[in-house]
């Protein structure tokens, strides 16, 4: 604590001397003495230190692709200037950001290309505030952002967060010097068409100068036209016609290829068109000649058969009413397609049928997958159904990239640790487990041991694995895992390799090592964090293929816990019963058809599972498990079914020889597709700019139903069904509802209008172009407003980055002292007026006022004796109440008062 005006302390001895010379003032009473001390201290204005010396400067570096070149040119100079003007007590921190935020300096903490296609400035500022609070230790903080200003997200609420933390936001705009830029402004085509109906495609190109610009137009990834667009006054257009004969969704893409261009990122645009063709069945199968396809085609179904599973996208669901998964493993289906099935069934009124086989249900990796909640049977393990002893080795990537934060706030390493913990949870007590954490070498985190007595210690050990920097040496991890497993007595040995698809290093002679693993009865599966287009994806794919295991790709770290669970269940339990089993019917078939079914007496095998509480079963196995063979149920406004027997391939001969095989399939599929929507209602959607408008039109017969239960419209952005939200309708006129929603560029949108128990689906549709290259000036103004609201500004002189914030480092204690002095003054006045003896007033231990206190006590004693001797006096507590009348007590005063009153009355 320091004093701003210490000279006022000289007043204290003067006041004490005055109190000594004038004892009648009573300054030496404790209350008054304390009051004088407080007032003197308040005049001296004491200050206490709220913040330490120095400043913490958090520098945010825009690492997105649109700012890459200007940032690279000036970064070294800016760093030198900041370091030059840094004070002795100042601290400097750097954060790189794009779609994710990474603290610079950690080994392996670079942002990969897949994370650099958006500019999340708001997320970066929020992360910097969190770190500043955690590491500030009483120091003031500032934030300085180097960016082009074109954030891909609004900075809503950031100014309030900055104000609440008393942190000022400065910025430095980083731009390319003036160059010529061409951009593909629009790709226009209708949102829906009929098969074989021609439609018009229009492309608009803008540029900084006139001339001819090369243009290429692609349909579903294949080039359909190459031409040139002539720009006049900075604008050029090209029109062409096209037609599509097959129902579904087509994706168009337009690309310009100018010779000179400042920003190649805005040279493409895409759009989608739906070809309506009635409700269809989408059959995803692993069989080249699937018997299900021939049966359904003979029954008149509109059928699409797909065996190239990796190319599936959520757009493939447009116009589809039923999806059949016929013995296809989960890891071969794109994660975004599997996630899209949830919205497709629950909200769009679609349906899902899963058929059995060695690549289906739990054996196919569907346990705890995104569609597990849709399937009417449960795939959890029970102790009596496990295989013989399994020895499992988990090789964990703990390189620097694993320290990056995912969208849910956890690091990738923490989510992978959670996945390894799930694997331990699903192993049996007799199984063996070992875990290695790998960077440039393999580190044993859990030695090979039995799970049963050590399960808790194992889970605790794997959840403490942290990212340590560097890359992952794949060969070292695989070799350490196999050296541990090959001597185990387990009947099955399996390795799970978890690695970053963009940072898997030093594979060594992995082919020879995998041959040795296979010869020793082992297998290898790979969980790859990233996409198939990443730099090391081919290596990881080859490891899984050679290792006779499964391969999972995901660029969403939040999926890791469920993927580890899927793989462990597929390895550790006997999910397929490969023996003939008798069957009997169950009452659930009556929900499908009123006609009874003559079921086969015996089937060749089935996937072991258990009926969920919301589902019904139509056929049951007559073995010790009494497991369902056919189950069905309702999910949202859609329906799902599980046929746990193989419908094709091995273990299906008895079922395919069943005389009612075709009747069973077509009846079940028709029930899944549901009844057609009653006539008299329709839905149209169109895009104008960034707004999508939905128009619901209906006739008078629908009016009472919609008044009793208004229609609901649900929208899903991207492939995340969990983020689906409801949009409000506006009733424009009788029979006409309208709604609108703002679209984000490059984001696919699907939706459904629910009318009671049915639904009208629309989409997918997309607003083409990349928001990263949109260069909207409104985003720059948003940054300026946020900075100004926090007290910051645009910095042209980087020496100003270290200026003191407006938040004072020292706080005055004067208000508190004055308030305390006021309270003491009121207490002293109360004591003086009432004569109340307080402990302070009764304290006479100081010799300074002992004579004055003795004299005052003598006077008080004589006064009480006089009052006690008066007629009618009585004691009231510690006080004496006088019995004298007013005129007896003070006759002169009363007469004088009456005389003055009489004189006043005589005055005119």
Q: What is the pLDDT of residues 690-740, one digit of tens each?
A: 678 899 998 988 888 888 888 899 988 876 655 678 888 888 888 899 998
Residue 411: phi and psi, rounded to 5, are: -75, 160
Half-sphere exposure in the Cβ direction for 751 (13 Å, CA): 25
Q: What is the pLDDT of residues 201-244, one digit of tens each?
A: 999 998 888 899 999 999 988 899 999 999 998 899 999 999 98
What pLDDT score was predicted for residue 178?
A: 63
Three-class DSSP category at 551: strand
pLDDT lower than 70: segments of the chain: 1, 48-52, 105-115, 136-138, 178-179, 381-388, 469-470, 574, 688-690, 719-723, 745-746, 769-771, 774, 806-811, 835-908
Name the nearest CA neighbour of 632 among 584, 581, 669. Answer: 669
Supply 209's token pair: 């100068």
User: Do residues 92 and 86 lie in contact, with contact meaning Cβ atoms separated by under 8 Å?
Assistant: yes
User: Do residues 552 and 567 lie in contact, with contact meaning Cβ atoms separated by under 8 Å?
Assistant: yes
Supply 645's token pair: 């027997």
What pLDDT score was predicted for residue 842?
A: 47
Beta-bridge mates of residue 717:
749
What pLDDT score was predicted for residue 566?
A: 86
What pLDDT score was predicted for residue 886?
A: 43
User: Do residues 5 and 45 lie in contact, with contact meaning Cβ atoms separated by under 8 Å?
Assistant: yes
What pLDDT score was predicted for residue 879?
A: 43
User: Do residues 821 and 39 lie in contact, with contact meaning Cβ atoms separated by under 8 Å?
Assistant: yes
Which secondary structure element, helix H or strand E, spans residue 566, and what is its range? helix 560-572
- Residue 298 neighbours by CB distance under 10 Å: 10
Three-class DSSP category at 342: helix
Beta strands at 576-577 and 2-3: parallel, antiparallel or unpaired: unpaired
Three-class DSSP category at 784: helix
415 alpha carbon, distance to own chain's centre: 13
Supply 196's token pair: 């074989």
pTM, whole model, 2 decimals?
0.64
Supply 215's token pair: 């243009």
What pLDDT score was predicted for residue 861?
A: 56
Supply 770's token pair: 């990349």
What pLDDT score was predicted for residue 638?
A: 94
């Amino acid at each position: 604590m320091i004093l701003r005006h210490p000279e006022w302390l000289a007043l204290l001895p003067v006041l004490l001397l005055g109190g000594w010379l004038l004892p009648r003032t009573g300054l030496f009473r404790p209350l008054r003495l304390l009051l004088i001390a407080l007032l003197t201290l308040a005049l001296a204005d004491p200050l206490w230190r709220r913040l330490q010396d120095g400043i913490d400067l958090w520098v945010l570096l825009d690492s997105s692709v649109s700012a890459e070149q200007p940032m690279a040119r000036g970064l070294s100079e800016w760093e030198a200037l900041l370091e030059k003007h840094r004070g002795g007590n100042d601290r400097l921190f750097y954060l790189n950001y794009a779609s994710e935020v990474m603290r610079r300096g950690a080994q392996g903490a670079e942002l990969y290309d897949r994370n650099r296609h958006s500019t999340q400035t708001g997320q970066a500022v929020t992360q910097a505030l969190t770190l500043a609070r955690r590491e500030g230790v009483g120091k003031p903080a500032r934030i300085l952002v180097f960016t082009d200003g074109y954030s891909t997200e609004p900075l809503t609420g950031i100014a309030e967060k900055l104000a609440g933390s008393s942190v000022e936001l400065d910025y430095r705009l980083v731009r390319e010097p003036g160059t010529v830029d061409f951009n593909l402004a629009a790709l226009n085509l209708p949102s829906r068409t009929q098969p074989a109906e021609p439609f018009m495609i229009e492309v608009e190109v803008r540029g900084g100068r006139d001339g001819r610009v090369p243009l290429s137009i692609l349909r579903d990834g294949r080039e359909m036209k190459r031409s040139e667009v002539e720009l006049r006054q900075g604008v050029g257009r090209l029109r062409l016609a096209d037609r599509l004969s097959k129902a579904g969704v087509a994706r168009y893409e337009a690309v310009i290829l100018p010779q000179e261009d400042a920003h190649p990122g805005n040279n493409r645009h895409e759009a989608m068109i739906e070809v309506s063709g009635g409700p269809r069945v989408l059959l995803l199968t692993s069989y080249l000649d699937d018997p299900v396809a021939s049966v359904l085609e003979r029954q008149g179904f509109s059928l699409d058969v797909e065996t190239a599973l990796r190319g599936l996208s959520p757009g493939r669901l447009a116009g589809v009413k039923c999806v059949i998964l016929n013995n296809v493993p989960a890891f071969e289906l794109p994660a975004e397609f599997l996630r899209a099935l949830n919205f497709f069934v629950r909200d769009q009124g679609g349906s899902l049928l899963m058929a059995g086989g060695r690549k289906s249900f739990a054996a196919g990796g569907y346990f705890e997958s995104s569609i597990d909640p849709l399937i009417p049977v449960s795939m959890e393990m029970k102790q009596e159904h496990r295989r013989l002893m399994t020895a499992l080795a988990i090789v964990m990537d703990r390189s620097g990239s694993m320290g990056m934060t995912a969208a849910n706030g956890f690091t990738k390493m923490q989510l992978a640790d959670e996945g390894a913990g799930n694997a331990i949870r699903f192993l049996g007590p007799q199984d063996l487990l070992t875990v290695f954490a790998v960077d440039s070498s393999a580190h044993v985190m859990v030695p090979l041991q039995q799970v049963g007595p050590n399960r808790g210690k194992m889970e605790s050990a794997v959840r403490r694995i942290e990212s340590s920097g560097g890359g992952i040496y794949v060969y070292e991890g695989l070799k350490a895992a196999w050296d541990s497993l090959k001597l185990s007595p387990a009947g099955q040995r399996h390795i799970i390799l978890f690695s970053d698809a963009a940072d898997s290093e030093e594979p060594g002679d992995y082919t020879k090592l995998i041959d040795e693993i296979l010869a020793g009865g082992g297998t290898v599966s790979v969980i790859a964090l990233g996409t198939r287009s990443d730099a090391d994806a081919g290596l990881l794919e080859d490891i899984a293929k050679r290792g006779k295991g499964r391969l999972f790709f995901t660029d969403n770290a939040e999926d890791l816990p469920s993927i580890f669970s899927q793989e462990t269940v597929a390895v550790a339990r006997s999910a397929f019963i490969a023996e003939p089993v008798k069957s009997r019917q169950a009452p659930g078939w009556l929900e499908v058809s009123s006609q009874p079914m003559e079921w086969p007496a015996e089937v060749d095998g089935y996937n072991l599972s258990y009926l969920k509480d919301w589902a019904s079963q139509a056929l049951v196995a007559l073995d010790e498990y009494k497991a369902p063979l056919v189950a069905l149920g309702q999910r949202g406004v859609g329906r799902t079914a599980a046929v746990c027997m193989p419908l094709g391939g091995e273990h299906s001969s008895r079922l395919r020889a069943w005389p009612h095989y075709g009747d069973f399939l077509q009846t079940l599929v028709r029930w899944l597709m549901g009844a057609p929507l009653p006539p008299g209602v329709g839905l149209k959607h169109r895009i104008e700019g960034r707004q999508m408008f939905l128009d619901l039109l209906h006739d008078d017969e629908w009016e009472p139903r919609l008044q009793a239960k208004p229609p609901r419209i649900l929208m899903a952005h991207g492939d995340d069904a969990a983020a689906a939200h409801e949009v409000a309708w506006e009733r424009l006129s009788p029979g006409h509802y309208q709604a609108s929603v703002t679209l984000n560029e490059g984001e696919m949108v699907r939706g459904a209008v629910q009318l009671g128990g049915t639904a009208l689906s629309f989409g997918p549709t997309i607003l083409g172009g990349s928001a990263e290259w949109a260069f909207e000036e409104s985003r720059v103004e948003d940054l300026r407003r946020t900075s100004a609201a926090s007290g910051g500004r645009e910095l042209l002189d980087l020496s100003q980055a270290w200026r003191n914030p407006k938040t004072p480092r020292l706080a005055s204690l004067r208000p508190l002292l004055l308030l305390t002095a006021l309270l003491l003054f009121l207490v002293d006045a109360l004591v003086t007026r009432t004569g109340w003896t307080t402990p302070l007033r009764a304290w006479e231990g100081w010799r300074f006022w002992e004579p004055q206190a003795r004299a005052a006590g003598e006077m008080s004693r004589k006064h009480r004796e006089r009052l006690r001797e008066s007629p009618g006096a009585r004691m009231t507590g510690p006080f004496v109440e006088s019995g004298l009348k007013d005129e007896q007590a003070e006759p002169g005063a009363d007469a004088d008062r009456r005389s003055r009153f009489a004189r006043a009355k005589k005055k005119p």
